[in-house]
Chains A and B, each alone.
Chain A
Amino acid sequence: DTEVTQTPKHLVMGMTNKKSLKCEQHMGHRAMYWYKQKAKKPPELMFVYSYEKLSINESVPSRFSPECPNSSLLNLHLHALQPEDSALYLCASRSTTGKTYGYTFGSGTRLTVV
């Protein structure tokens, strides 16, 4: 299995809703990432988990709450989002051993906040 799987593919939520995005990989990668991509913009790093511990938080608002329950799963919990949070949310993983530097991205969750 050489994929990063993200669910759901599409999500529409109201500003008072609570929802979660899920990311899963079974490549044994111990670094996992959340990126946010707005239309016609490059992906922007949100969070980095290394060995299931949060190592980088790029000053993301607290309405986004990441969680890494085990080495294969990465969640992004969403609460009280704003319409400007609508974007494509990408998960990625990477090996932290040897010389394998390649990042593998999921196909993303298209989030619309109404």
Chain B
Amino acid sequence: DQQVKQNSPSLSVQEGRISILNCDYTNSMFDYFLWYKKYPAEGPTFLISISSIKDKNEDGRFTVFLNKSAKHLSLHIVPSQPGDSAVYFCAASKYSGGGADGLTFGKGTHLIIQP
């Protein structure tokens, strides 16, 4: 059973426009959510995160929104740039205070920024 879902395998957006990547989760124990960007044959690069006690976190061009009641989060990138073309993974964590659970990843969304 997939606990973190990214239902769009790919997304094409024109340069300068807003990119919106979506993610849904099923496990209500998740209390921390992260977005990673990944290029082929490289490790994931951390982008932005959000705690379950917040509904929005912003960092430069990246904003993550969390709707706990809907178990849904989204990543907004504005304006989109050619260098943003990559696979974006949504990930979730259950922080077991003092300990450290691993991340559960969605399947990823391939973002393509068109010039």
A interface residues (Cβ-Cβ under 8 A, vs B) = 4, 6, 30-31, 33, 35, 41-45, 48, 50, 55-56, 58, 88, 90, 92, 94, 96, 101-108, 110
B101: A residues at CB distance < 8 A:
48, 56
Q: Is the CB of B107 within 8 A of A88?
A: no
A102: B residues at CB distance < 8 A:
34, 46, 49
Given contacts A42-B107, A90-B44, A92-B103, 5 further A-B contacts (CB under 8 A): A43-B105, A102-B34, A102-B46, A102-B49, A103-B46
- List 7 interface pairs A-B (beta carbons < 8 Å), by A numbering: A48-B100, A90-B43, A101-B34, A101-B93, A102-B49, A104-B46, A105-B44
The chain A residue sitting closest to B32, CB to CB, is A101
A48 to B107 Cα, complex, angstroms: 21
| A to B contact number (C-beta, < 8 Å) | 66
User: Which of B46, B49, B93 has the most C-beta atoms of chain A within 10 angstroms of its own C-beta?
Assistant: B46
A1 to B106 Cα, complex, angstroms: 29
User: Which of A42, A92, A108 has the most C-beta atoms of chain B within 10 angstroms of its own C-beta?
Assistant: A42
Q: Is the CB of B106 within 8 A of A42?
A: yes
B106: A residues at CB distance < 8 A:
42
User: Which of B45, B98, B100, B104 has the most C-beta atoms of chain A within 10 angstroms of its own C-beta?
Assistant: B100
The chain A residue sitting closest to B90, CB to CB, is A42
Q: Is the CB of A105 within 8 A of B89?
A: no
Q: Is the CB of B102 within 8 A of A56?
A: yes
The chain A residue sitting closest to B102, CB to CB, is A45
Q: Is the CB of A55 within 8 A of B99?
A: yes
Q: Is the CB of A96 within 8 A of B99?
A: yes
A42 to B100 Cα, complex, angstroms: 20
